[in-house]
Amino acid sequence: MKYCSHCRAEVTFDIPEGDNRHRHICHSCDTIFYENPRIVAGTLPVFDGRILLCRRAISPRKGYWTLPAGFMENGESTEQAALRETWEEAEARPVLGNLYSMITVPHINQVHIFFLAEMQVPEFSAGPESLEVALFTPAEIPWDKIAFPTVSETLKRFIDGATGPHVFDIRPDQALHAGND
Amino acid sequence: MKYCSHCRAEVTFDIPEGDNRHRHICHSCDTIFYENPRIVAGTLPVFDGRILLCRRAISPRKGYWTLPAGFMENGESTEQAALRETWEEAEARPVLGNLYSMITVPHINQVHIFFLAEMQVPEFSAGPESLEVALFTPAEIPWDKIAFPTVSETLKRFIDGATGPHVFDIRPDQALHAGND
């Protein structure tokens, strides 16, 4: 950020009065620009004991498998965001269940939340951001082809039968280990 | 938002190619500016069956009581944010427990999350954003002086003995009813 988005003046990067963190500040129109973590919301959709995964058609991690999830938008609830992303990426309309995981990824300023979701029918197909969508038994999960550590950690806990919700963090080295890019 | 914060050009408010929502777009340096909900993280600190509340020294809702909570910052986890805010507003260092509520307030683009927290000692005092901090038995909660509906709804469920976590939304009319400004 170099310029004020309100008045076009150059901004500084400094600690505002009464604050203890650096922010972009416009001294011309007295605006402080805060930056905060973003929420990624998704589902863990299950049909008949099998889990629905999407193979990503877009970067990052194109070609790798993920649970349907994406950035929560202004004006919607976490549940609405999770179901919208499930429709957009997997063209599935499961019934939303309980919150299952809430995982902070501090080094990329994201919080990923996954809800359990029950598919009443095995109806799904690849949305524009997916190459393919498929149901996997626990034994069939392609662990070395999972896109993100938040997804593999959520899947592991679910398959182990651990009751949620699970609240934890992903460290940068876990992200690298899991091949997150 | 009127100007690009990268290159100073005027932005338009339009639907980017392949998207379905209006965004601020800079056609000069090809940047799309996304806006997403922010997380407010806090605790429900308990000592000996009593709940710690803070009376707000700042707007909005100055003079009203709240659980210690505030905007999550980049680079921290939800748990760290909740404990940091508890220290800043109530100068208390409780032991963090389970996630208790996750409440979307869609009309102001916020998601409020509260963790249970156990105070080992009754040590607390008013931080710079609080007028006073005090422990309340369930019978003593000043229901008509609670700052935000996310706080009153979280307190109600906790006092009713409902096991969490509770995931729900606050509608604009609930906010008005509860006096949110």
> Where exactly are the structural domains of chain B?
1-35, 38-174
Q: Is residue A181 classed as helix, strand or coil in its secondary structure?
A: coil
The pLDDT of residue A176: 52
Query: Beta strand A110-118 with A38-47: parallel, antiparallel or unpaired?
Result: parallel
Give me the torsion for CA of B167, B170, B171, B175, rounded to 10°.
Answer: 170
The number of beta carbons lying within 10 Å of the beta carbon of residue A5 is: 22
**List of chain A residues whose C-beta atoms are within 8 Å of the C-beta of residue B6:** 1-3
Of residues B83 and A171, more confidently modeled: B83
Residue B3 reports pLDDT greater than 60: yes
User: Same topology for domains A1-35 and A38-174, yes or no?
Assistant: no
Q: How much of chain B exceeds pLDDT 70, in percent?
A: 96
Nearest to A37 among B2, B74, B106 (CB): B74
For chain A of 181 residues, list the mean pLDDT of each consecutive stretch of 10. 96 92 95 96 98 97 98 97 98 98 97 98 97 98 97 97 93 63 38
Q: For residues A19 and A36, what is the distance between their CA atoms, to the nearest angstrom?
A: 15
Does the model's ipTM exceed the 0.85 cut? yes
Q: Does A110 touch chain B (CB under 8 A)?
A: no
The pLDDT of residue A181: 38
Q: Is residue B26 classed as helix, strand or coil in its secondary structure?
A: strand
Q: Any idea which residue has 């509260």 for tokens? A: B114
User: Which amino acid, one-letter code, is at A160?
Assistant: D
Q: What is the mean pLDDT of chain A?
A: 94
Tens-digit pLDDT profile for residues B52-80? 999 999 999 999 999 999 999 999 999 99
Q: Which is nearest to B170 in space by CA: B107, B116, B82, B100? A: B107
For A1-35, CATH number? 2.20.70.10
Q: Are B84 and B76 in contact (CB under 8 A)?
A: yes
Nearest to A74 among B7, B37, B78 (CB): B37
The pLDDT of residue A164: 86
Under 8 Å CB-to-CB from B164, ≥6 apart: which residues?
Answer: B98, B99, B100, B101, B116, B157, B158
The pLDDT of residue B164: 86
Which of the residue ranges A53-57, B16-20, B133-137 would you say has the lowest mean pLDDT?
Answer: B16-20
**CATH superfamily, region B38-174:** Nucleoside Triphosphate Pyrophosphohydrolase (3.90.79.10)
The pLDDT of residue B176: 52
CA distances (Å), origin A151, targets A94, A103, A124, A144: 18, 10, 19, 12
Residue B29 reports pLDDT greater than 50: yes
A112, β-bridge pairs? A40, A103
CA distances (Å), origin A88, targets A93, A120, A125: 10, 18, 10
Residue B175 reports pLDDT greater than 90: no
Closest Cα in chain A to B72: A36
Task: Provide the H-helix boundaries in B16-119.
Answer: 78-90
Residue B120 reports pLDDT greater than 60: yes
User: Which amino acid, one-letter code, is at B117?
Assistant: A
Task: Determine, for residues A2 and B5 on separate chains, whether the beta-carbon distance falls below 8 Å.
Answer: yes
CA distances (Å), origin A138, targets A143, A152, B30: 10, 12, 43
Nearest to B36 among A74, A128, A165 (CB): A74
Closest Cα in chain A to B78: A104
Q: Are A145 and A65 in contact (CB under 8 A)?
A: yes
Average pLDDT over residues B117-132: 97
Give me the torsion for CA of A131, A135, A139, A144, rounded to 10°.
Answer: 20
The number of beta carbons lying within 10 Å of the beta carbon of residue A33 is: 15
The pLDDT of residue A173: 81
Average pLDDT over residues B116-126: 98
